[in-house]
Structure 1
Amino acid sequence: MKDVRVLLIDDEVDYTAALAKRLDRRGLSIRTAAGGRQALESLREEPCDVILLDIKMPGMDGIKTLGEIKQLHPEVEVVMLTAHANTEIVISSLAMGAYDYLMKPVNVDELVRKIEDAAMRRKSNSR
């Protein structure tokens, strides 16, 4: 799965580093960003296939970041990550084009399956 490029966006630096390391061990190509603005800069420099996006972040939150990503890169699949089960926010993110969402802490096997599914959807939509 090294051909699947994943961008992990989360302001919790230790969590991001640990999750990135676990996903890298599973054969994914992982980049990280500490927030929405940094993620948008990263996407300008290098595109990706799947984004893992935390909802609760200071400054530019996940919903605002999702809107910007979908405006600039509508083909990218986004999986929202949240530690707070807020049904309205989840429904809103799905309506804005998020592929799916997972609750933190995430089960890495489930997350890898979700990334694979999102990457396959992106590839089938780009044909």
Structure 2
Amino acid sequence: MPGSRVLLVDDETVFTKNMSKLLTFRGYKVIAVNSGDAAIRELEQADFDVIVLDLKMPGMDGITTLKEIMKLGLFTETLILTGHGSIDTALEAMKLGAYDYLTKPCEIDELVAKIEAAWDKKEGKE
């Protein structure tokens, strides 16, 4: 839903800049960070409606970041968006509480639809 706060977590700075612009243009309030550690710091400071999380990142990878997010006990839905996906990582992410799993490249319309569905679930509309 436009106006929703989205935390975009991906180590590819060009990707986060471009995706941030596209989502902002569609009315989302986007904060982009380039590491799992930075994502946890942002989540400790502010509330987000949806997190879009990459799996393969240096330092704290996406699965470890997802585990840390779950420990925080937030009412935030997490979408996994990765270029390095496999069925095993998808299953692991879903078992850990991820809302959905998408692979790059991903069309902006598909990502927006998933963000909206995750927001609806968060708000109890699904």
TM-score, with structure 1 as normaliser: 0.94
Aligned ranges 1:13-24 → 2 under 5 Å: 13-24=13-24
Aligned ranges 1:2-81 → 2 under 5 Å: 2-81=2-81
Deviations 1:28-69 (A, max 9, x none): 111111100000001111110100000000000000000000
Cα separation, 2, equivalents of 1:2 and 1:29:
8
Structure 1: runs of 5+ lacking an equivalent: none
TM-score, with structure 2 as normaliser: 0.95
Which residue of structure 2 aligns with residue 103 of structure 1? 103
Deviations 1:17-36 (A, max 9, x none): 00110011111111111100
Q: Please state how far the C-alpha of 1:106 moved relative to its aligned partner.
A: 1.1
The amino acid across from 1:25 in the alignment is F
The amino acid across from 2:110 in the alignment is E
Cα separation, 2, equivalents of 1:65 and 1:84:
16
Percent of matched pairs sharing the same residue = 43
How many residues are aligned here? Answer: 125
Which residue of structure 1 aligns with residue 83 of structure 2? 83
The amino acid across from 1:17 in the alignment is K
After the TM superposition, list the runs of 4 or more consecutive aligned residues in structure 1 that deviate by more than 4 angstroms.
none
Cα separation, 2, equivalents of 1:75 and 1:120:
12
